[in-house]
Amino acid sequence: MSRRQFTAPTRTEEGPPDDTGCTILHVDMDAFYASASLISRPDLRGKPVIIGGAGGRSVVLSATYEARAFGVASAMPMARARRLCPQAVVIVPDHRRYAAISEAVMATFAAVTEHVEPLSLDEAFLDVAGAVRRLGPPTLIAERLRDTIADEQGITCSVGVASTKFVAKLASALAKPDGLIVVPRAETVSFIHQLPVGAIWGVGDKTEEHLHRLGLRTVADLAHTPVETLQRALGDVAGRNLHDLAWGRDPRSVVPERREKSIGADETFAHDIDDPVRIHRELLRLADRTAARARSAGMAGRTISIKVRFSDFTTITRAKTLRHHTDVSREIFATAVELFDRLALQRARIRLVGVRLEGLVPATAAPIQSALDEPEHGWRDADRAVDRASARFGAGAVRPASLIPDSGTAAAPALSPRLPAAPGRRPGRNPEPTAT
């Protein structure tokens, strides 16, 4: 929704909107993946940029606002995005960078209040009621957060300040990009009643169409419809919830530190493939990415699963639970290969593969067991050295040799199904971490 389509709370003669009792903040990074990717490409600022795989079957992870003006949106097929905005520059995602910036942003939130509820890498709710005496009114806290994130991370964020989570999230969305909207408690109803019904949290396209068929187009229309009518049309629970939200009633509190239940990555191939060597190579890449994300989040998991999608879109998953928690790339890769090889596929055409680490717990709460044959300074230390190098020099600074693109005409080295030897042992044909 354009910011011109609603009336934001205005400043009074005495100053900014009254934020008394408005202790809920929703902070959302602006075009996070795109903004983070442009930190090292300042020459592309102000231009249409799409973040995603270069292949035509990839999907858009994010896009700059310049690209969004052409209709490009997250989760859109890349082929369609390129047709809508052929002049856009496509940048491959840098997941290590995103995780590092997200961790730093969440640390900034934690310095303000312990009541932080992350919703994803790039947004969170904060309850700053306990920080007001120490840091000042909610509006001032929001402004300081925006300044700190911009100064320290080089990206912008938008903030909604309100008395409830629902209204704070609405406000942050309407403040984008790089804005701040405060909704005084006394103006909550008038603020939300001017909005279209599609702005309500939980109203998707189908529900919005249903409400339109009933003649309900604004939140005010919804609020003044008897709750019994909404319940007959949408169901008891949904009808009651929408009626409550239409009057600004949202009793939910900020739930601190909601942890991810799993971490993973998948890849859709540019063309269906049936070569197990190439599948093994992709499993290595995905296992490395998954493990790096787990270590960045300070998590470890016991269950490793793979996903395989065939050319007819049939999808199967397989999982194995280990005897101990892990965040080691090599161990996740070994299990993923084992699960894939057990499928005994005979030249099946494969469209997508994925690797996921599940059963997550904080790594500090689950000491990770070393393999009996692992040297004192083994793969875990090697992984952390790779993390440090990637943080300093960028993703891909160190990676297995089989994942290094071949600059010549020959194909990239094939990945042997066998695992690489542990550090300190004689390497075979398998990939070893190599600086690039």
**DSSP notation for 236-265:** HHHHHHHHHHHTT---PPP-S----SEEEE
d(CA 258, CA 262): 12
Domain membership of residue 392 (yes or no) is yes
- Domain at 386, CATH number: 3.30.1490.100
Which residues is 328 bridged to in the sheet?
A: none
- Domain at 142, CATH number: 3.30.70.270
Domain membership of residue 111 (yes or no) is yes
Domain membership of residue 7 (yes or no) is no
Out of 20-24, 58-62, 257-261, 310-314, which region has the weakest mean confidence (pLDDT)?
A: 257-261
Question: Does one domain contain both 219 and 321?
Answer: no
d(CA 435, CA 76): 34
Domain membership of residue 2 (yes or no) is no
- The pLDDT tens digits of the residues spanning 374-433 come to 544 455 666 666 656 555 555 555 555 555 554 443 333 333 333 333 333 333 333 333
Question: Does one domain contain both 133 and 212?
Answer: no
Question: Does one domain contain both 66 and 199?
Answer: no
123 annotated active-site: yes
- The residue among 155, 183, 211 that closes a domain is 183
- The pLDDT tens digits of the residues spanning 254-304 come to 988 656 678 998 888 888 899 999 999 999 999 999 998 888 888 889 899
Crossing angle of helices 95-112/379-393, nearest 10°?
90
Model pLDDT, residue 113: 94
d(CA 161, CA 151): 21
- The pLDDT tens digits of the residues spanning 333-360 come to 999 999 999 998 877 899 999 999 998 8
Which residues is 176 bridged to in the sheet?
A: none
Domain membership of residue 300 (yes or no) is yes
Question: Does one domain contain both 206 and 267?
Answer: no
Set 14, 114, 117, 123: catalytic member: 123
Distances (CA, A) of 375 to 98, 135, 201, 379, 425: 32, 49, 52, 8, 9
Domain membership of residue 9 (yes or no) is no
- The pLDDT tens digits of the residues spanning 139-182 come to 999 999 999 999 999 999 999 999 999 999 999 999 999 999 99
Model pLDDT, residue 424: 37
Question: Does one domain contain both 128 and 236?
Answer: no
272: annotated binding-site residue? Answer: no
Question: Does one domain contain both 164 and 205?
Answer: no
Higher-confidence position of 414 and 186: 186
Question: Does one domain contain both 290 and 389?
Answer: yes
Distances (CA, A) of 133 to 20, 106, 128, 417: 13, 21, 10, 60
28: annotated binding-site residue? Answer: yes
Q: What is the mean pLDDT of residues 202-231?
A: 90
Residues across the chain: 436
Domain count, the chain: 3
- Residues 401-407: contacts with CB under 8 Å, at least 24 apart: 401/431, 401/432, 401/433, 401/434, 402/281, 402/284, 402/430, 402/431, 403/281, 403/284, 403/285, 403/288, 403/431, 404/434, 404/436
Q: What is the mean pLDDT of residues 222-245?
A: 91
- Domain at 215, CATH number: 1.10.150.20
Model pLDDT, residue 419: 35
Domain membership of residue 257 (yes or no) is no
Model pLDDT, residue 390: 55
Domain membership of residue 251 (yes or no) is no
Model pLDDT, residue 421: 35
Distances (CA, A) of 166 to 217, 230, 252: 19, 20, 9
Question: Does one domain contain both 66 and 204?
Answer: no
Question: Does one domain contain both 166 and 21?
Answer: yes
Question: Does one domain contain both 208 and 314?
Answer: no
Question: Does one domain contain both 29 and 162?
Answer: yes
Phi-psi region for residue 215, left (φ > 0), alpha (ψ -120 to 50) or beta? left
Instruction: Determine which helix (DSSP H) or strand (DSSP E) holds 141, and give its type and residue range.
Output: helix 138-153
d(CA 71, CA 60): 12
- The pLDDT tens digits of the residues spanning 74-120 come to 888 998 999 999 999 999 998 888 988 998 999 999 999 999 999 88
Domain encompassing residue 87: 14-183
Question: Does one domain contain both 351 and 241?
Answer: no
